[in-house]
């Protein structure tokens, strides 16, 4: 038996304890215990224990009357040494209660289960082919940089991950290729230099994984991780296409960067204790960039394991990019909003896959699809039905084409209209096909607006916008009233290039930032709609279990696809500027981003067709070539983030959970307010408590990374009806690396608002030396309290 301790002495050695309760609706192997993440003061380990793990096991045995040290060993899931100090373990409600009563316990909170946020893009972004000048050549495509992808794993045999012409593994690399089911250690090469998997948190809640459908190894049984990894760093592969669509060269953003894979997402989701273990391993292994296309609900940063892990990574010099989420087009939907994370929304690229609906009345409704099987007979019109309005059908379920909801007598040999929602778009096609339908039209609801996503459907199918869906349903209804048979067909038009882009994707999550309104999120947008990238061998392109088609590449959409574009670009920037911090890299991407499309007009919002706003795109769409030479950068160190947290009214105990260090908030008041974090964008929020005039100021420091002798002049476009001044309005630099400060003041007058409502106006600040334009968005929100 290991020595046991009385309850309180152990905890007197523990200065801070974060206990994160993993709550899940799934059946747990032991319903009486849940998973917790426990933060301890690292240096408090008594010397009698050879390792921290021994200390944790002994401690766990001591707080439970019925736990032997061997049982305590099995209850510890992960130990954390790098971005976090402590362990995750299974604890009973009684143990939780005991812990909650202790003054050393910071908080006991439910753990989040996260979910993934589901090739012309290098060319569209202005990255050239391998033999031309530009960002790729200048950095040798980032061949000494390592991108860690925290996702569903990888299919290592894909050509996108070959190591042809790559030099030896960078000497700094400390990672491993962990073997597992169908994944020998030889699966890694000079391209894929590390692979690990973390499933203990997932299995602690869901029970043992089903190894007939999931790999207990870094191998990808979903497809999402393979896709995101190849977007970030896939090699040049020609020819590439999906079912004949999007033919051409496939390449990631940093084709020579190395990849390290951290599999944390399983059939039941991605569990916080596993995600934290992946961050811990990735930083210890030596990644330069961590890419995370995973998200959950926004909570305060000290309760958010992604924010905590990312802070530790960022402090170690690792750039962390994360997807903004797919909750758009509504406001306040953005996730992964911590200011030390680069939050990426999704835009469209200049390629589309039109598949139009032709109705019996001659009207053409535009749609999109990447269906690649036998099409409908050209020139023939087919009966069309909307099951939701048919007598004898369960209106709601059949309108959505849910499993078992369609009557084969009603839909046989007809094109079926299905509303979006509840089940996946691909699954709806399978339901129609099973019931004997010959084709499907997938119609957006009001909330989806006009945003369209092309899918590899299992039968001839297309997706149409909300207005198109209304028109089709109206045509069906009017035909039945006049006792004529409504008919339609789908005309597949292949791949269309050169369309208007970028446009903010309808699904891309929007600001304002629900946790820190004074930090504008998302930061930037990148290509995320209909993106071609690598795909596993044993997963059909529709993602539907019955889909037996196989393809080396697949076309997917989501902020999940946008995030790895930025991860790859960050690796290229880090290779070109090894001394740049993660904040400097983000600043370069943000201040050089653009907000106009390829027609020279303001970027549109796909969901409405109207002009998009800063809450949709942040600083704008990434412009890699310009980001290489931004002129000035807004840098931030750990102390800046601590001041931000202090001024966000976080307690010193809360801050310690995030930073692993005791925080001194006395100097933070000098920083003024949380909006004075040295961020490359400006967001002011005014509460109109009967005041007629309001003002605030922002203090910023810019570092010269352009030309040694340079003079920058400020140009302001103030938000409508406001006065914005910059002092000084000229910055004269004499050397590279020189830092200069300026103050930006915003003065606003009250506007007429109903209680609880708000008004948003935006403008921008540009610093220019005639060669560089360093642009920052400025957004001002006026709120009328209830």
Q: Which residues are catalytic?
A: 151, 224, 560
* Tally of CB atoms within 10 A around 93: 11
DSSP 364-406: EE-EE----S--PPTT--EEEE-GGGSTTS-HHHHHTT-TT-S
Do 67 and 79 form a contact (C-beta atoms < 8 A)?
no
DSSP, residue by residue, 588-636: HHHHT-B-B-TTSSBPBBTTTSSB--HHHHTT-B--HHHHTS-SEE---
CB-based contact 315:582 (threshold 8 Å)? no
Residues in the chain, overall count: 786
Compute φ and ψ for 705, nearest 5 degrees.
Answer: -125, 15
Sign of CA dihedral 243, 245, 246, 247: positive
Q: Distance between CA 551 and CA 701 in Å, rounded?
A: 50
Q: With the C-alpha atoms ordered 74, 76, 80, 85, is the resulting torsion angle positive or negative? A: negative
Nearest alpha carbon to residue 776 among 679, 659, 697, 696:
679
Q: DSSP code of 245? A: E
Calpha distance 323→150 (Å, rounded): 12
Taking alpha carbons only, the member of 163, 250, 303 closest to residue 531 is: 250
Q: How many CA atoms lie within 13 A of 713 on its CB side?
A: 4
**Residue in this structure with the two tokens 């949380």, named with its chain if needed:** 674
Token output for 680:
């490359």
**What does the alpha-carbon distance between residue 274 and residue 200 come to, in Å, rounded to a whole number?**
7
Match 């152990």 to its residue by tokens: 10
Cβ atoms of residues 137 and 128 within 8 Å: yes
Query: 574: which residues sit within 8 A by CB, 6+ positions away?
Result: 142, 145, 288, 289, 319, 580, 585
Three-state DSSP state, 213: coil
Q: How is residue 42 written in tokens?
A: 């690292």
* Three-state secondary-structure class, residue 481: helix
Distances (CA, A) of 472 to 464, 465, 602, 716: 10, 11, 31, 48
**Residue 353 Cα distances to 419, 499, 522, angstroms:** 20, 11, 27
HSE-up of 17 (CA within 13 Å, CB side)? 20
- Per-residue CA distances from 642 to 276, 340, 654, 740 (Å): 21, 11, 11, 21
> DSSP for 66-107?
T--HHHHHHHEEEEE-SSS-EEEEEE-HHHHHHHHTSTTEEE
List Cα–Cα distances, 563 to 117, 321, 531, in angstroms.
Answer: 10, 6, 12
CA–CA gap between residue 655 and residue 650 (Å, rounded) = 6
Among residues 524, 525, 532, which one has the least CA distance to residue 557?
A: 532
CA distance 602 to 624: 19
Residue 672 Cα distances to 116, 204, 667, 745, angstroms: 37, 45, 9, 13
Measured in whole angstroms, the distance separating CA 679 from the mean position of its chain's CA atoms is 20
* CA-based R_g, the chain, Å: 27
d(CA 437, CA 256) in angstroms, rounded, equals 46
């Amino acid at each position: 038996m290991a020595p046991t301790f009385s309850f309180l002495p152990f905890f007197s050695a523990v200065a801070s304890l974060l206990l994160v309760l993993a709550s899940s609706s799934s059946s747990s192997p032991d319903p009486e215990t849940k998973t917790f993440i426990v933060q301890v003061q690292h240096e408090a380990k008594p010397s009698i224990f050879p390792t921290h793990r021994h200390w944790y096991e002994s401690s766990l045995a001591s707080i439970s009357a019925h736990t032997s040290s061997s049982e305590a060993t099995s209850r510890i899931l992960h130990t954390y040494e790098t971005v976090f100090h402590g362990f995750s373990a299974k604890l009973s409600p009684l143990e939780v209660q005991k812990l909650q009563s202790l003054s050393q316990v910071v908080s006991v909170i439910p753990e989040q289960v996260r979910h993934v946020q589901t090739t012309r893009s290098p060319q569209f972004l202005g990255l050239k082919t391998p033999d031309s000048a530009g960002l790729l050549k200048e950095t040798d495509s980032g061949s000494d940089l390592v991108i860690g992808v925290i996702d569903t794993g990888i299919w290592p045999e894909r050509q996108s991950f070959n190591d042809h012409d790559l030099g030896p593994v960078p000497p700094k690399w400390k990672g491993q290729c962990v073997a597992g089911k169908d994944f020998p250690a030889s699966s890694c090469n000079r391209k894929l230099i590390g692979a690990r998997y973390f499933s203990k948190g997932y299995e602690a809640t869901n029970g043992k994984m089903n190894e007939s459908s999931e790999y207990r190894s870094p191998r990808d049984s979903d497809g999402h991780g393979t896709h995101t990894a190849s977007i970030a760093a896939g090699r040049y592969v020609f020819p590439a296409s999906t079912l004949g669509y999007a033919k051409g060269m496939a390449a990631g953003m940093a084709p020579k960067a190395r990849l390290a894979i951290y599999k944390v997402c399983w059939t039941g989701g991605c569990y916080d204790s596993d995600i934290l273990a992946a961050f811990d391993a990735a930083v210890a292994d030596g990644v330069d960039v961590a890419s995370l296309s995973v998200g959950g609900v926004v909570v305060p940063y000290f309760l958010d394991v992604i924010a905590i892990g990312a802070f530790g990574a960022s402090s170690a010099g690792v750039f962390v990019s994360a997807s903004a989420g797919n909750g758009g087009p509504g406001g306040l939907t953005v996730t992964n909003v911590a200011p030390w994370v680069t939050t990426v929304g999704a835009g469209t690229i200049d390629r589309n896959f039109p598949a139009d609906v032709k109705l019996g009345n001659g009207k053409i409704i535009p749609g999109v699809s990447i269906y690649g099987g036998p099409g409908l007979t050209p020139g023939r019109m087919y009966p069309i039905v909307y099951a939701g309005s048919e007598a004898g059908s369960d209106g709601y379920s059949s309108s959505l084409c849910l499993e078992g909801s369609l009557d084969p007598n009603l839909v046989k040999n007809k094109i079926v209209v299905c509303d979006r929602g509840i089940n996946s778009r691909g699954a709806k096609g399978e339901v129609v096909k099973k019931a004997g339908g010959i084709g499907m039209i997938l119609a957006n609801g009001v909330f989806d607006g006009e945003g369209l996503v092309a899918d590899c459907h299992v039968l001839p199918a297309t997706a149409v916008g909300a207005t198109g869906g209304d028109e089709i349903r109206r045509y069906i209804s009017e035909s039945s009233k006049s006792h004529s048979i409504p008919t339609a067909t789908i005309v597949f038009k292949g791949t269309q290039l050169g369309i208007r882009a970028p446009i903010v994707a309808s699904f891309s999550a929007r600001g304002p930032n629900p946790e820190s309104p004074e930090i504008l999120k998302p930061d930037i947008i990148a290509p995320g709609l209909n993106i071609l990238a690598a795909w596993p061998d044993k997963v059909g392109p529709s993602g539907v279990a019955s889909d037996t088609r196989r393809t080396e590449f697949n076309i997917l959409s989501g902020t999940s696809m946008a995030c790895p574009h930025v991860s790859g670009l960050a690796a290229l920037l880090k290779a070109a500027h090894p001394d740049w911090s993660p904040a400097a890299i983000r600043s370069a991407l943000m201040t050089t981003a653009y907000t106009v499309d390829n027609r020279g007009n303001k970027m549109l919002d796909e969901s409405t067709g109207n002009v998009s706003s800063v809450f949709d795109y942040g600083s704008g769409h990434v412009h890699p070539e310009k980001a290489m030479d931004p002129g000035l950068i807004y840098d931030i160190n750990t102390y800046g983030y601590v001041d931000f947290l202090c001024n966000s009214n976080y307690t010193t105990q809360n801050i310690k959970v995030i930073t692993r260090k005791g925080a001194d908030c006395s100097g933070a008041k000098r920083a003024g307010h949380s909006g004075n974090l040295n961020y490359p964008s400006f967001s002011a929020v005014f509460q109109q408590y009967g005041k007629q005039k309001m003002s605030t100021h922002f203090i910023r420091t810019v570092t010269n990374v352009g030309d040694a002798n340079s003079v920058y002049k400020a140009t302001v476009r103030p938000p409508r009806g406001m006065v914005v001044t910059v002092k000084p309005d000229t910055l004269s630099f004499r050397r590279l690396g020189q830092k200069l400060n300026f103050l930006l003041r915003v003065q606003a007058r009250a506007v007429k608002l109903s209680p609880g409502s708000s008004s948003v106006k935006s403008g921008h600040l540009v610093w220019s030396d005639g060669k560089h334009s360093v642009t920052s968005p400025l957004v001002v929100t006026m709120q009328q309290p209830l």
